Amino acid sequence: MKTARTLTPALLQTLAHHNTDIYVSDECVIFYDARALLNTPILNIVSTPQMVEVGRIIRVKAGSATIVINLLPFDVQKGDVLVVPENNFIEIREVSEDFNIQAVSYKNLAISFTQCRKISLGEEDFERIGDYFRLAWKVVHKPSFSMQTIEHLLTAMMNDLKHLHRQSEQTSQHVLSHGEQIMQQFLELVAQYGATERNVPFYAERLLLTPNHLSSVIRQQSGQTVMQWLNARTLLQAKVLLKHSDQPICDIAFQLHFTEVTLFSRFFRRETGMTPIAYRNS
């Protein structure tokens, strides 16, 4: 398997060995200060699509960036916290020179967000979330500690963030229109089923709409068709598999429910201007 182009456990262990601001264990990874790392080739790694297999909490300490999650851009800046649940596609774009974050990845937390959320915090709340990072960082550097303590700390932070998110939604002046609600629900379905379901009726049925009505709403809300969104989702997963695995092209094609390799190659070339092999080797 390829290890140079994705944040594998082996690569994280190597980074931690050379950088005192990273803690790595089987249960969690903590980036206490990523400023130095973002000036290294790691930025080239995370700027290509990655599959987030375990959840992450990202606290933006300085600067700004555009982070794309499941095709949707999140513009983040100092004071923002981004919660990314497991099994989502993520890539970082347009990073400012002073961009710096703290981040933690976690496994099997009892309480978690089900969807990606950006939470913009006031100074006091932002500093309190930072206190969780500081305490967790102190705990993992004790000569002897219980990983259960870290789990409890992260669970407390998640509870705090969920509370802050609910408060933010309650005080928000913006109420989603019916079309915006459909768009949001559609994208959540695409994130969940897009790898295997690429037909309009499937999504229309789950949203209790006719295919024509769904198509009309999605085009009105986004300027793109339902099929353009579904193709983009398929392409995203194809890129991840091509870049971050050694699976044969035929296996990737069948995994993405193409009945023939030639159909997958034709689709990929139409969307990117490159063949799958050329993209893998680029």
Quote the CA–CA distance of 217 and 224 in Å, as a whole number.
Answer: 10
Burial group, residue 263, by CB count within 10 angstroms (0-12, 13-18, 19+)? exposed
Query: What's the rounded mean pLDDT across residues 172-200?
Result: 86
pLDDT tens by residue, 139-184: 999 988 898 999 999 999 999 999 999 988 887 767 789 999 999 8
Residue 107 banded pLDDT, cuts 50, 70, 90: confident
pLDDT above 60 (res 88)? yes
Quote the CA–CA distance of 109 and 92 in Å, as a whole number.
Answer: 25
Q: Are 7 and 16 in contact (CB under 8 A)?
A: no
Q: Are 201 and 207 in contact (CB under 8 A)?
A: no
Query: What's the rounded mean pLDDT across residues 222-250?
Result: 91
The pLDDT, as a whole number, for residue 25 is 87
The pLDDT, as a whole number, for residue 3 is 35
The pLDDT, as a whole number, for residue 8 is 53
According to DSSP H, which parts of the chain are helical? 9-18, 42-46, 123-140, 147-171, 178-193, 200-206, 211-222, 226-244, 249-255, 261-272, 276-281
CATH superfamily, region 178-281: Homeodomain-like (1.10.10.60)
The pLDDT, as a whole number, for residue 224 is 93
pLDDT tens by residue, 25-80: 888 889 898 876 666 555 555 567 888 778 889 999 999 999 988 888 899 999 99
Q: Are 233 and 71 in contact (CB under 8 A)?
A: yes
For the structural domain made of 9-171, what CATH number should be given?
2.60.120.280
User: Which residues make Cβ contacts (< 8 Å) with residue 202, sequence separation at least 6?
Assistant: 193
pLDDT: is 13 or 114 the higher one? 114
Quote the CA–CA distance of 248 and 1 in Å, as a whole number.
Answer: 12
User: Domain locations in the chain?
Assistant: 9-171, 178-281
The pLDDT, as a whole number, for residue 258 is 92
Q: What is the pTM of this model?
A: 0.80
Residue 191 banded pLDDT, cuts 50, 70, 90: confident
CA neighbor of 36 nearest in space, from 15, 54, 13, 66: 15
